[in-house]
Structure 1
Amino acid sequence: MERIERTKSGEPGGGPAEPARAPGGADGSSGTAASAPVRHAPLASFAYTAADEEKRRGVRRMKTTATGLLLLVALVYVLATWAKNAGVGGWPGFVAAAAEAGMVGALADWFAVTALFKRPLGLPIPHTAIIPTKKDQLGASLGSFVGENFLSGDVVRGRIHALGIGGRLGAWLAEPDHADRVTAELATALRGALTVLRDSDVQAVVGEAITRRANAVEVGPGLGKMLETIVADGGHRRVVDLLCVRAHDWLVLHGDSVMDAVQGGAPGWTPRFVDKRVGERVYKELLRFVTEMRDMPEHPARYAIDTFLTDFAADLQTDSDTRARVERLKSEILGRREVQDVIASAWSSVRTMIITAAEDEQSELRLRARASLMSLGARLATDGRLQAKLEGWLEDAAVYVVTTYRTEITSLISDTVASWDADQTSKKIEAHIGRDLQFIRINGTVVGALAGLLIYTVSRAFGA
């Protein structure tokens, strides 16, 4: 809303802020700009608005009414006194006494109400203009009051316990529509978080974490135990079968290459036909050997492989030299750029997979999250122990926050009040409560008149 008034001390929307004056002397304006304590500029949220101006017009109307009533009883007093002095008996004395007491009550209440916001008649009377001059002390007192009475551990714990958050949250989450809403919000938050994160940073962290973890754990014993289990269960035999089949097929297709390799390794002084016969013989024996391994599950070579793997599994677990070699090989593999690139690029795949799943309402991720939330809600709604545990966590967390940061929380009140401009604060408060305060003046006039009439009547009754 449009602001009606702006102060010189930096009210938002005005010119450059000037240092606010510190209350000090009788009129609250002593102290130069150089010696006055530095104040915060008025907060942007504290503005004198059109609504405040409308309320202030209502205050002015009530002031006019209260002042008019004072003038009325003053006129009644003058007329009654004139009638009494003119020799009219009876009623003028009663009316004059009531009017006189009404004037006293009206003036006393006018002084009290005016002293809250400014100095009556501009006179430097002590303990007047209370709000402008005592604004900071009032803010500090309000902050202390809130801290002592609203931010105590017992109050916060009791209030949270009375809310029964566990049961309410459980009943709320158990509703399918609510679970869908929470799931959608979580998916949005997850997508936002993954979008904000820079891939290069995450990749560096993931790569470093995986490498550090891999270097910190010795892999030899674990590999040995796994290999021992595989050999004991016969799980390696399918691999041996596959290798035998592939080796046989390769030899069949590349027989000439094998024979050429054998002939090429023969001494130069041997006849060519001898080299050829030797190559053919070697190829046939090799093919026969591989064929027998392929077709004979109990072939001695297969047994030799079993024995080798069993011994190697044992060495991986117990032999220090073998374990050291495995560790060196592991370090060399992890140190290769290609491996680091694969580790780093894993994040991109995971990120894409998660974002895709979060965006798809029918994805397994969303469906499982929704089912988990509904299951949690059903348990919370019926399981008293789970409710108590959740509420205990919330109570402990809230108590920790208010007891640890109580000073910071209450300083928000005192600092905010201290940042307000004194005159603007006084105007704003008067606009909100001034109308009711004018009723005090009216009531003071009426009550004073009735009290004066009663006192005068009692006095006359006892012959005073």
Structure 2
Amino acid sequence: MEQTEAAESPDVTGFLPASGFAYTESDEEKRRGVRRMKLFATCLLLLAATVFALAKWAEHADAGAWAGYVAAAAEAGMVGALADWFAVTALFRHPMGLPIPHTAIIPTKKDQLGQSLGDFVGENFLSESVVRSRLSTVKLGRRLGAWLSEPANADRLTTEVSTALRGGLTVLRDSDVQAIVGEAINRRAATLEIGPGAGKLLEQIVADGGHRRVVDLVCERAEIWLVANADSVMGAVTGGAPGWTPKFVDRKVGERVYKELLRFVTEMRDWPEHPARGAIDRFLRDFANDLQSDTATRTRVERLKAEVLARDEVQDFIASAWGSLRRMIVGAAEDEQSELRLRARAAILSFGRRMESDPRLRAKLEGWVEDAATHVVTTYQKEITSLITDTVAGWDAEHTSRKIEAHIGRDLQFIRINGTVVGSLAGLAIFTVYRAIAGG
């Protein structure tokens, strides 16, 4: 009745079929439990057969009316046990090796079962109504807000995000990123005309008087330089004088020029309404206007921009910008007290508290999640369910049957046991009714 242990026991020393459907040592332990239950159910069948034989012998020996009742119960128990043995065995193999139709259901119908399982999951778990109903009962917004508002959870999330950020920046190849960044900057700079924007910015700076600090700084630095380099200035003036002029005249001229330069710089520094300052203001205003409206000026600015971008020094700086940025981000992500991590933690806590207290924000987030989830399940339902069907289709039929039997076979043996017991009781009841009717 039962197949041999050699035929049933797989090699569990790391067996892994080509499909990746592993039969593990844990499965073999379960299978040993199945064999014990099979032995018990078979012994119960043999017990029923023995009782039937003894009862029939007692009945023929005129041992009394009880022998008929016992024989009927034992006979029905055998029938129930055999019928349930056939039903259980037919799930996994051909009973007694006979190719009886509609037996060995799991090995022969494996692909159809996988397809049915995929369809069942798609219809009952991946439908839009089911997903929306389930997500609406979860109250994701409130739960997420409560979780994020806990400082320990905010610290944990900040750490995980920092780790992921460092890992992502580490695996990126600097040369590839630098090429992308450089191309993006160059393309953007080439297509963006800077003249009008620079003109508006300069116009606003002049209107606000922001350039005056620059003028003040230049005047201060010029005065300091003139004081420190008086001999050099006078020497430059006298050195350019004609050879036929007397030396004392050249010296007087040099001193005069130096004093006038120093006076001019000092007055310009100390007098906000100095005519030279006004000339600078007019020049900057005119230049700001030309940057916005004068075609020739804008063309020259664009040409200068292109020349600057084409210089090797500028391209090297653009390419190296990514390396500096990456080092800065990685360093900030590693430092628990960095401004980046502190701000990220504060933002997480703030978002969690808002999520707890703001029902509109919770509703918006939950709506986004529901829309995203339903879009995924409705758009990719076939791809998701095909994972089930394709996986099951790739399993080896024999090992699939063997693994399933290892997991549920023990419970199925109770069907045989119950069939023996219930069959015996049913047979006893039927025989009792029959004798009551026949005796009546």
Pair in the same fold by TM > 0.5: yes
Amino acid at match of 1:42: S
Taking a change above 3 Å as real, the CA distance of residues 63 and 285 of structure 1, as seen in their structure-2 partners, is closer
Q: Answer yes or no: is the 8 Å Cα contact 2:234–2:251 preserved in 1.
A: no
Equivalent residue for 2:107?
Answer: 132
Structure 2 distance, partners of 1:132, 1:390, is: 47
Match of 1:462 among 433, 437, 440: 437
Equivalent residue for 2:23?
Answer: 47
- CA positional deviation for 1:139: 1.6
Amino acid at match of 1:422: A
Match of 1:118 among 93, 98, 102: 93
Equivalent residue for 1:202?
Answer: 177
Structure 2 distance, partners of 1:52, 1:86, is: 51
Structure 1 distance, partners of 2:158, 2:409, is: 50
Match of 2:410 among 435, 440, 460: 435
The residue matched to 2:285 in structure 1 has which SS?
helix
Equivalent residue for 1:99?
Answer: 74
Q: Establish whether residue 393 from structure 1 lines up as the match of residue 365 from structure 2.
A: no
The 5 A counterparts of 1:224-373 are 224-262=199-237, 265=240, 270-272=244-246, 276=250, 279-280=253-254, 282-373=257-348
- Shifted more, 209-218 versus 368-377: the winner is 209-218
Taking a change above 3 Å as real, the CA distance of residues 146 and 273 of structure 1, as seen in their structure-2 partners, is same
Amino acid at match of 1:403: T
Match of 1:108 among 76, 83, 91: 83
Q: Which runs of 5+ in 2 are unaligned?
A: 1-8
Q: Answer yes or no: is the 8 Å Cα contact 1:221–1:316 preserved in 2.
A: yes
Taking a change above 3 Å as real, the CA distance of residues 324 and 78 of structure 1, as seen in their structure-2 partners, is same
Q: Establish whether residue 6 from structure 1 lines up as the match of residue 14 from structure 2.
A: no
* Amino-acid identity (%): 70
- CA positional deviation for 1:58: 2.6
Structure 1 distance, partners of 2:51, 2:264, is: 137
- CA positional deviation for 1:377: 0.8
- CA positional deviation for 1:252: 4.5
Taking a change above 3 Å as real, the CA distance of residues 185 and 98 of structure 1, as seen in their structure-2 partners, is same
Amino acid at match of 2:11: R
Equivalent residue for 1:164?
Answer: 139
Q: Answer yes or no: is the 8 Å Cα contact 1:6–1:48 preserved in 2.
A: no
Q: Answer yes or no: is the 8 Å Cα contact 1:105–1:447 preserved in 2.
A: yes
Q: Which runs of 5+ in 1 are unaligned?
A: 18-40
- CA positional deviation for 1:6: 2.9
- CA positional deviation for 1:398: 1.7
Q: Answer yes or no: is the 8 Å Cα contact 1:74–1:103 preserved in 2.
A: yes
Structure number with higher helix proportion:
2
Amino acid at match of 1:276: D
Q: Establish whether residue 144 from structure 1 lines up as the match of residue 119 from structure 2.
A: yes
Equivalent residue for 2:391?
Answer: 416
Taking a change above 3 Å as real, the CA distance of residues 253 and 118 of structure 1, as seen in their structure-2 partners, is closer
Taking a change above 3 Å as real, the CA distance of residues 92 and 217 of structure 1, as seen in their structure-2 partners, is same
Q: Answer yes or no: is the 8 Å Cα contact 2:90–2:103 preserved in 1.
A: yes
Report how many residues are paired: 430
Q: CA RMSD, aligned part only?
A: 2.7
Structure 1 distance, partners of 2:52, 2:289, is: 119
Q: Answer yes or no: is the 8 Å Cα contact 1:179–1:374 preserved in 2.
A: yes
Taking a change above 3 Å as real, the CA distance of residues 275 and 455 of structure 1, as seen in their structure-2 partners, is same
How big is each residue's C-alpha offset from its partner over 1:73-131, in whole Å with a ceiling of 9 and x where there is no partner? 22333333333334455233333322222222222112112211221222121111112
- CA positional deviation for 1:248: 3.9
- CA positional deviation for 1:357: 1.8
Q: How high is the TM-score relative to the length of structure 2?
A: 0.88
Q: Answer yes or no: is the 8 Å Cα contact 2:34–2:413 preserved in 1.
A: yes
The residue matched to 1:213 in structure 2 has which SS?
helix
Q: Answer yes or no: is the 8 Å Cα contact 1:170–1:377 preserved in 2.
A: yes
Equivalent residue for 1:75?
Answer: 50
Q: Answer yes or no: is the 8 Å Cα contact 2:238–2:253 preserved in 1.
A: yes
Amino acid at match of 1:378: R
Structure 2 distance, partners of 1:233, 1:61, is: 94
Q: Establish whether residue 378 from structure 1 lines up as the match of residue 383 from structure 2.
A: no
Q: Answer yes or no: is the 8 Å Cα contact 2:241–2:250 preserved in 1.
A: no
- CA positional deviation for 1:168: 0.9
Structure 1 distance, partners of 2:259, 2:420, is: 131
The residue matched to 2:438 in structure 1 has which SS?
coil
Q: How high is the TM-score relative to the length of structure 1?
A: 0.84
